[in-house]
Amino acid sequence: MRYQAPESLDAAVALLAGAQGEARVLAGGTDLLVQLRADLVDPELIVDIKKIREARTVAEERGGWRIGAAVTGAELKENTRLKQDWPGVVEAANLIGSTQIQGRATLGGNLCNGSPAADSVPALIAAGATAAVVGPRGRRDVPVEDVMIGPRKLSLTKGELIASFFLPPRGRGAADAYLRFIPRTEMDIAVVGVGINLALDGAGTITTARVSLGAVAEKVLLVPEAAQAIVGSRLDDAAQERLAAQARRACRPIDDKRGTIDFRIDVAGVLARRVASIAYERARLR
Amino acid sequence: MAKHHVAAQVNGDEVEFLCETEETLLDVLRDTLNLTGSKEGCSSGDCGACSITLDGRLVCSCLVLGCEVGGRRIETIEGMARGETLHPLQQKFLEHAALQCGICTPGFLVASKALLERDRDPTETEIRYWLAGNLCRCTGYDKIIKAVMDAAAKMRRG
Amino acid sequence: MATMLTTATDLPQTYVGTRTVRPDGVDKVTGRARFGADFNLPGQLVGRVLRSPHAHARIVSIDTSKAEKLPGVKAVVTRDDFADQPSEFIPAGEMMINYRDMVRNILAREKVLYEGHAVAAVAATSVAIAKRALKLIEVEYEVLPPVIDVMDAMKPGAPVLHEDLFTVGVEPKPDKPSNIAKRVEIAQGDIDAGFSKADVIVEREFKTQPVHQGYIEPHATLASVSEDGSAEVWCTTQGHFIVRAHCARLLGMDIGKVRVTASEIGGGFGGKTVVYLEPLAVALSKKAKRPVKMVMSREEVFKASGPTSGAHVKVKMGATKGGRFVAAYAELRYQAGAFQGSPVQPGVMCAFAPYDIDNVKVIGYDVVSNRPKVAAYRAPGAPISEFAVESVVDELAKKLDIDPVELRLQNAAREGTKAAYGPKFGPIGLIDTLHAVRKTDHYTTPLEDWQGRGVASGFWFNIGGETCVSLTVNEDGTVSLMAGTPDIGGLRASLAMVAADELGVPYDKVRPIIGDTGSLGFNFLTGGSRSAFSGSMAVVEAARQIKADLCRRAAKLWEVPVDQIEFEGGSVRPVGDAATKAKPMSVADMAKVAGKTGGPIGGYGRINAQGAGPSFGTHLVDVAVDPETGRVTVLRYTMAQDAGRAVHPSYVEGQYQGGAAQGIGWALNEEYIYGPDGKLQNAGFLDYRMPVASDVPMIDAIIVEVPNPRHPYGVRGVGETPIVPPMAAIANAIENATGIRFTDLPMSPPKVLKALKERCRNKV
């Protein structure tokens, strides 16, 4: 098994594109090393992207934010202005695992691991984030909801990797939030995850919204019907009920060791209501 | 495949070692550098017994590759005491009987130290959530939390 | 040999009962202490185990030839390297063992009986080569259908694990094999007459899943066999003398040729009272002629080391409307895993033990199924049966409209009560713990909506057993104490305190260590809540010998008759007519003249400790239930338990709190989850959900002391009782919060939410 730590995106792309056997990108390693140890993967090449500037930088850009794919959850939490603009994205990244995991886990790794239960992905999708994908044929921006197409299946092709994410300008009167359900208080994989991003007008009416559900389908879902359920409302009880119903309808979960189908559907509705309330309160304060 | 040659700093000392690509930092610490204070409980980042700090950041060493740490600063349990003087956390763990079998203790001490370096006055809840990645099966956590709170108070008094 | 004992009150005690710093503590907080995987020897090889991918299969053939030829592989062992053992049951403290089953558990012979069952082991020069070697071992299996659940395993027509297993304890004797290894029963009085007198009867069925002890340190061992056939073994274990006995027996070696050193142990809770890797490491080392180190991965720990039983329990209790229990009946069905030997017997014995009931009948079945063989887990058997009983007691309290603590007080076992399983209790502390809990501020704090409070009591009988402690007074008056039971959480501190008080020397002048098997006589393992109880008894005996010896030496030195010499307050002094003949000499003074007065000074306590006193406890817990998600949060936890005499209060509290936390996990989230193929789906700490620090509140531990009259200090074992009450206490609290009685552990959110929704639907 070879290990390389290129210092530029071009070098990383060349390594990945030119690999004979399986090549894996290493950012925080909190998924890759577990899989290596469990003999679930046996790559011929590991490409460590932590020496690549774009992958490690958080910076404001065109009113929004560019976040490197290999920036850790802990580093995101320490960025006060990012936390003010996108509390949902930051709290989602900081629910992954434990303090130790957050010291290493990254948005890029969390997305590219391809688990529909990934905590940061619903928040990124709700935020309308795009992934900057670089590869042998150049650079393209992909909405995050189009990156993961199934369990462990990404829409990236050989040689491509995610260099960074772009969060659009936040604007006033808008905010996001993320909650997940786990049986303990920490450490578990999300049984259901909900990310909601919404914007209000001066009267407190929701003008736009994005609702994303995790761990309830074979990929993380963007649910326009759930968003529509609350647009035009002030998140009164009836709107919340519509939201919950649409969230439940969108689920197509499985029974597994973490939750049953019925449970996931019920809790998706419950969390959708709770997350919307938090996002709404935050938006009102902005 | 030739091994990687890595130079890093461990507990203030410059070290050099060779490692295979697939060896974790935990493997290197325990098997190559003979620093067996960090423990292997699960190899999947779920128990925290292998906790160390990497450039001051609390991480599980079982989730870091040995070949990644070139030029970086690693601190383990073995570096916590200053000569003959125990760190206040170590002292308080003893006074509060915050350990029974002791296997999780190095991980808890490293993790608690990382917390108190960031937050000198954490609440009980904040301590519990910070330490949620460190499993203990013997104590029920009660005396550990009390020891950390007492150590924080002592460190605030200076 | 048993010692006749003085009572605790007339002994001078400076240390016993105080919170000293443990002598082995500094090593543990600095990372210096060495646990099982922390030992290495030059030239050592890596040992790895090939494990069955099937839950149930016949082994048609095993071919290790390719593995043996791989460069770097120095030894391979299979069933052929271990002689078969005849069937013989040996009492091993709290559970029975059978070597015929043990030799099959460490390496499968005719069949593999659970996913993860060891089939072969290799020793190689590196991890990579060992892993490759395992892949080269060819095993041909004839896959058989597995059976997992205890009720399924008992059904006629279930796949049979052992063709030679015929149920013991039923008449007429069965002529067909089954998975039911035995039936046991205890009874007193007349159960039918009892129920006919009852005004209120509650009958319920309960289900529990296997849970693992969850020790953070995986099994680990290092074995080195020399050319003369003698073996040295380092391992993490609760009983190194037991490891020695098993290795010697399984490998056909003299016990004296096997020397086992117990490392520091990173948790055991009963799960490290058996062998898995050690005989394999010794066999490999013997073949390879090099040391072999073997460490289990976390996945192997879950798949191939014994959890405790999953069970099905039926309980029926009757009471008069005044609150007197008149009849109690239970049927316990425990699954033992792949080989017989579940803790159903202690489960049967403990079920109703906290109560004084004239008419009792408890029946138990020991059932095999395709899971790893169960190992002891903290009060083995009792948490399951007492979960069921304490839940039913709570329902009776509600039906009778009597406070649950009051109902228990009315029926509590006390001194003189004859327990249904046989003995009459001496002085015991159940009533004291009930009062202690009722007096707390916790008991009367108001609750909010969707919050509930529950109480439950529990019992474990504790054991004594063979114990050796040697005390040596060094030339400078310091004392070396060598005990033979691994210290799993504070034992060395407790023994050092007892020795310091007995000999009147400062605590920091006593240096305790755990000796290897070559240094002491046989010690039964650390378990059964016996190590402080028996160890301290042996220390007292050893100290008694030293004190008598010092008096004899002083007599010679001072030319005074020995009956005019006394040992008191750490010194020998002449008394009576000889009182002025000489000045008192301390232990340190006498040590300086040891050579002149007969040689080195020491005592050796070798006992089979009797008179272990049972420990009763009562737990009180508040929970909050989220009605929309079914998540249960433990808000507040108070517990009182009788320690007899707490030698070191902090470590006694630690046992209480640790057991309670394990019980919280057992109640709410821990379980072995199997797929239909009989494979374990959650063999890691991610999905085997043990409580983390944010899952539990502070646990208020109240030490009650009703001295055990059969121990010189009044000590009772305390380590096991704490895990017995929590599950029922939490189930009772959830019932109080929601009105729903949960009988199926764990009470995880999907189950709770489903029950809440069903109740809503039924109401409409």
Residue C210 phi, psi dihedral angles, 5° rounding: -65, 140
CA C158/CA C151 separation, integer angstroms: 10
Give the bridge partners for C418, in sequence order: C424
C406-465 tens-digit pLDDT: 999 999 999 999 998 888 999 999 999 999 999 999 999 999 999 999 999 999 988 888
Does residue B93 share a domain with residue B39?
Answer: no
Does residue A28 share a domain with residue A159?
Answer: yes
pLDDT at B2: 84
- d(CA A162, nearest CA chain C) in Å: 27
Close Cβ partners of C98 (under 8 Å, ≥ 6 residues apart): C87, C88, C89, C90, C339, C340, C341
Residue A33 with chain B: CB contacts under 8 Å: 24, 45, 62-65
A54-85 tens-digit pLDDT: 999 999 999 999 999 999 999 999 999 999 99
Judge: B65–A1 Cβ closer than 8 Å, yes or no.
no
Does residue B121 share a domain with residue B73?
Answer: no
pLDDT at C8: 41
* Token pair listed for C465: 């057993």
Does residue A241 share a domain with residue A146?
Answer: no
Does residue B117 share a domain with residue B53?
Answer: no
What letter represents residue C686's amino acid? L
* Peptide bond connecting C172 to the previous residue in cis, omega within 30 degrees of 0: yes
CA nearest to A48, candidates A111, A5, A101: A5
How many contacts does A have with B, using Cβ atoms within 8 A? Answer: 87
User: If you measure CA to CA, which chain B residue comes closest to A51?
Assistant: B68
Judge: C749–A184 Cβ closer than 8 Å, yes or no.
no
pLDDT at C95: 67
CA angle A105-A111-A113, nearest 5°? Answer: 80
Does residue B112 share a domain with residue B61?
Answer: no
Residue C40 with chain B: CB contacts under 8 Å: 31
Judge: A185–C694 Cβ closer than 8 Å, yes or no.
yes
CA B141/CA B129 separation, integer angstroms: 12
Does residue A147 share a domain with residue A85?
Answer: yes
- CB within 8 Å of chain B, chain A residues 72-131: 72, 74, 97-101, 103-104
Chain C CB within 8 Å of residue B131 CB: yes
pLDDT at B158: 83
Q: List chain A residues with pLDDT less than 70.
A: none
Judge: A183–C631 Cβ closer than 8 Å, yes or no.
yes
pLDDT band at B1, cuts 50/70/90?
low
Top residue of C19, C28, C211, C695 to mutate, by most chain B CBs within 10 Å, is C28
CATH assignment at residue B137? 1.10.150.120
Judge: C684–B46 Cβ closer than 8 Å, yes or no.
yes
Does residue B128 share a domain with residue B68?
Answer: no
Chain B CB within 8 Å of residue C686 CB: yes
- CB within 8 Å of chain B, chain A residues 55-74: 72, 74
Does residue B69 share a domain with residue B8?
Answer: yes
- d(CA A39, nearest CA chain C) in Å: 10
pLDDT at C17: 94
pLDDT at C96: 77
Residue B134 with chain A: CB contacts under 8 Å: 98
Judge: A185–B62 Cβ closer than 8 Å, yes or no.
no
Does residue A259 share a domain with residue A138?
Answer: no
For residue C73, pLDDT over 90 is answered with yes
Does residue B66 share a domain with residue B94?
Answer: no
pLDDT at B149: 98
Asked if residues B133 and B48 have their Cβ atoms less than 8 Å apart, the reply is: yes
Does residue A151 share a domain with residue A180?
Answer: no
Judge: A263–C673 Cβ closer than 8 Å, yes or no.
no
Does residue A191 share a domain with residue A72?
Answer: no
Asked if residues A73 and A105 have their Cβ atoms less than 8 Å apart, the reply is: yes
pLDDT band at C763, cuts 50/70/90?
confident
- d(CA A199, nearest CA chain B) in Å: 31
How many contacts does A have with C, using Cβ atoms within 8 A? Answer: 57
- d(CA B58, nearest CA chain C) in Å: 17
pLDDT at C29: 98
Judge: A103–B45 Cβ closer than 8 Å, yes or no.
no
Q: Is C232 helix (H, G, I), strand (E, B) or coil?
A: strand
* Token pair listed for C420: 């249904």
Please give the tally of structural domains in chain B.
2
pLDDT at C6: 39
pLDDT at C295: 98
Does residue A134 share a domain with residue A99?
Answer: yes
Judge: A100–B68 Cβ closer than 8 Å, yes or no.
no
Structure-model confidence comparison of residues C13 and A83, the more confident one: A83
C90-114 tens-digit pLDDT: 876 566 789 999 999 999 999 999 9
pLDDT average, residue stretch C592-609? 95
Chain B CB within 8 Å of residue C381 CB: no
User: If you measure CA to CA, which chain C residue comes closest to B96?
Assistant: C650
C670-716 tens-digit pLDDT: 999 999 899 999 999 999 999 999 999 999 999 999 999 999 999 99
Does residue B139 share a domain with residue B112?
Answer: yes
CA C760/CA C764 separation, integer angstroms: 7
Considering only CB atoms, C657 lies closest to which of B46, B99, B139, namely B139
- d(CA C166, nearest CA chain B) in Å: 38
The answer as to whether B83 is a domain residue is: no
Does residue A226 share a domain with residue A140?
Answer: no
pLDDT average, residue stretch C154-165? 96
Give the bridge partners for C45, in sequence order: C292
CATH assignment at residue B52? 3.10.20.30
Contacts 24+ apart (CB under 8 A), B13-20: B17/B66, B19/B66, B19/B67, B20/A1, B20/B66, B20/C128
The answer as to whether B108 is a domain residue is: yes
Residues present in chain B in total:
158
Q: Are strands C632-642 and C699-704 parallel, antiparallel or unpaired?
A: parallel
Point out the domain boundary residue: B18, B47, B78: B78
Point out the domain boundary residue: B78, B113, B139: B78
What range defines the domain where residue B104 resides? 88-157
For residue C12, pLDDT over 60 is answered with no
* Token pair listed for C477: 């008056």
C252-287 tens-digit pLDDT: 999 999 999 999 999 999 999 999 999 999 999 999
Query: Where do runs of H (alpha helix) occur along C214-343?
Result: 240-251, 278-288, 298-304
Asked if residues C258 and C247 have their Cβ atoms less than 8 Å apart, the reply is: yes
How many contacts does B have with C, using Cβ atoms within 8 A? Answer: 178
CATH assignment at residue A155? 3.30.465.10
CA C80/CA C65 separation, integer angstroms: 14
CA C295/CA C235 separation, integer angstroms: 10
Please give the tally of structural domains in chain A.
2
Judge: C217–B90 Cβ closer than 8 Å, yes or no.
no
Does residue B68 share a domain with residue B30?
Answer: yes
Residue C325 phi, psi dihedral angles, 5° rounding: -70, 130
Judge: A184–C753 Cβ closer than 8 Å, yes or no.
no
Does residue B150 share a domain with residue B114?
Answer: yes
pLDDT band at C528, cuts 50/70/90?
confident
Secondary-structure breakdown of chain B: helix, strand, coil percentages, each rounded to the nearest 5: 40, 20, 40
Give, for A245, the enclosing helix (H) or strand (E).
helix A237-250
Does residue A157 share a domain with residue A184?
Answer: no
User: If you measure CA to CA, which chain B residue comes closest to C216?
Assistant: B41
pLDDT average, residue stretch C136-161? 97
- d(CA C454, nearest CA chain B) in Å: 19
What letter represents residue C394's amino acid? D
The answer as to whether B63 is a domain residue is: yes
Point out the domain boundary residue: A151, A167, A183: A167
Judge: A257–C673 Cβ closer than 8 Å, yes or no.
yes
pLDDT at C3: 36
Does residue A188 share a domain with residue A76?
Answer: no
DSSP E strand stretches across B34-137: 51-54, 57-60, 73-75
Considering only CB atoms, C687 lies closest to which of A38, A257, A260, namely A257
For residue C764, pLDDT over 70 is answered with no
Judge: B39–C699 Cβ closer than 8 Å, yes or no.
no
The answer as to whether B146 is a domain residue is: yes
CATH assignment at residue A225? 3.30.390.50
b/e string for C736-756 if b means 16 or more Cβ within 10 A?
Answer: bbbeebbbebbbbbbbbbebb
Does residue A115 share a domain with residue A189?
Answer: no
For residue C135, pLDDT over 90 is answered with yes
Does residue B20 share a domain with residue B74?
Answer: yes
Give percent of chain C above pLDDT 90.
91
Q: Chains contacting C with at least 3 CB pairs below 8 Å?
A: A, B
For residue C154, pLDDT over 60 is answered with yes
Judge: B57–A3 Cβ closer than 8 Å, yes or no.
no
CA C470/CA B82 separation, integer angstroms: 36
Q: Chains contacting B with at least 3 CB pairs below 8 Å?
A: A, C
Point out the domain boundary residue: A138, A167, A196: A167
For residue C7, pLDDT over 90 is answered with no
> What does each C-alpha distance from A74 to A78, A106, A117, B59, C621 come to in angstroms?
6, 9, 20, 11, 35
Does residue B126 share a domain with residue B68?
Answer: no
- d(CA B97, nearest CA chain A) in Å: 24
pLDDT at C89: 83
Does residue A183 share a domain with residue A121?
Answer: no
Tell me the pLDDT of chain C averaged across its residues.
Answer: 95
Considering only CB atoms, C669 lies closest to which of A39, A184, A186, namely A184
Residue C657 with chain B: CB contacts under 8 Å: 139-143
Question: Picking from C314-323, C517-526, C734-743, which range would have the lowest pLDDT averaged per residue?
Answer: C517-526
Number of Cβ atoms within 10 Å of the Cβ of B134:
30
Point out the domain boundary residue: A107, A141, A167: A167
pLDDT band at C88, cuts 50/70/90?
confident
The answer as to whether B62 is a domain residue is: yes
Residues present in chain C in total:
764
What range defines the domain where residue A243 resides? 174-284
Point out the domain boundary residue: B50, B78, B106: B78
- Spell out the domains of chain C, with CATH numbers in brackets: 2-33+464-609 (3.30.365.10), 436-462+613-764 (3.30.365.10)
